[in-house]
Amino acid sequence: MGKVSLKLGNSQKPLEVVSNTGATATLASSIKVAFKRHKLAYLSVGSYVASMAVFGLIVFVKGANPLSVFSVVVQSTFFNGGSVEQIILRAVPISLAALAVAVPARAGLVNVGGEGQLIMGAIGATGVGLTVGASAPSPLSWALMGVAGGLAGAIWAGIPALMRTATGASEAVTTLLMNFVANDIMLYLIYQPWRDRYSSGQPQSQPLSHSAQLSSLFGSQLNIGVVFAVALAVATWWLLKKSHWGFALKVVGGNQEAAKRAGLPINRLLISSMLVGGALAGLGGMLNLAGVEVQLRPGITATFGYIAFLASWLGRHEPYKVVIAAFLFSAIALSSNGIQLNFGLNGSIVDILLALIVIAPLFLSKNRKAMTK
């Protein structure tokens, strides 16, 4: 701290005044920095609380007690052993379809086709599974079904990618429309060539042979597909974060003009990102089919692709965050059963909660700079 000497009148004795100006300025600056650092965190928490409040208000208008509904959501999912296993099983296709959104997003593309790519992956896996039957050992059946599912998903995502690079068609629109085409293909197959003659009139394919079904883990409801999904998530993280290809995607997504000047093959990178994303979703469809459903039927994906799209945005397209969001959304989606049974509400009301949860980070992301000024 500095000292200022003053002389009063004719007095020769200096008056020393201790100046606290510097210390005060430093303290004020530290408080300002700390406030800015925590401002976004406070607003994040506040936005999620507001989302819960809006959902609670909607539930109240529907005639249910909001606190009771939230209690059922938590207790019917995380505090029930069987439900936790079901959450994990649902999270397998949702997380892989969410990663199918995250990978193209790194290159600046919007893949809304996770639902169709999941369906096509299940179709490809079913075709191979029914063809191979019980003639092949389980590991070989899984490998062949995985290749078929991943390839089908990649092709389904590659079509919009080619349309984008060749004609400039919006991949957000084309991937969304491809979902309906994939569903129609599935319906044709289960009503006609693959129809199970012993299904009592229900439209579904013949079931996979036991050798083609994924093995359970430690006698639980979980299957080995969970391990495969974790491995695929780790591989995706490495591709995006550690590989030259992932860095190139980031450059293209950040500034295509700069990427072009740097000599990067933009169209090739865009197409490859969609192919990888589609393959991940296709593998998710295969794992869901071979591990849970064991036969193709209407609604086999249960809107997993659309939930995955929201999960990817909630996780800001970061692989590990996306997987966490997929698990959370899987739990919320599963809680619809408890809400319907206990309160008589339509189970689809949880879709409103999912949307509200995603709106909060989107708002924060858009206004991040303004909030930290």
The 10s digit of each residue's pLDDT in 184-242 is: 999 999 999 999 888 777 889 999 999 999 999 988 889 999 999 999 999 999 999 99
Question: Percentage of the chain surpassing pLDDT 70?
Answer: 85
Joined together, the tokens standing for residue 229 give 């999904």
Contact 97, 305 (CB under 8 A): yes
Distance CA 368, CA 39 (A): 10
CA distances from 155 to 182, 269, 274, 276 (A): 12, 16, 9, 10
Nearest to 146 by CA among 311, 282, 298, 321: 282
Mean pLDDT of 283-304: 93
Question: Percentage of the chain surpassing pLDDT 90?
Answer: 62
Burial of 20 (0-12, 13-18, 19+ CB in 10 A): exposed
The pTM of the full predicted model, rounded to 2 decimals, is 0.86
pLDDT at 32: 60
Mean pLDDT of 20-28: 60
Between helix 114-132 and helix 171-191 the angle, nearest 10°, is 30
Question: Between residues 357 and 323, which one has the greater pLDDT?
Answer: 323
Question: Between residues 27 and 91, which one has the greater pLDDT?
Answer: 91
Mean predicted lDDT score pLDDT of the chain: 87
pLDDT at 17: 47
Contact 310, 52 (CB under 8 A): no
The 10s digit of each residue's pLDDT in 305-314 is: 999 999 999 8
Query: Structural domains in the chain?
Result: 77-334 (1.10.3470)
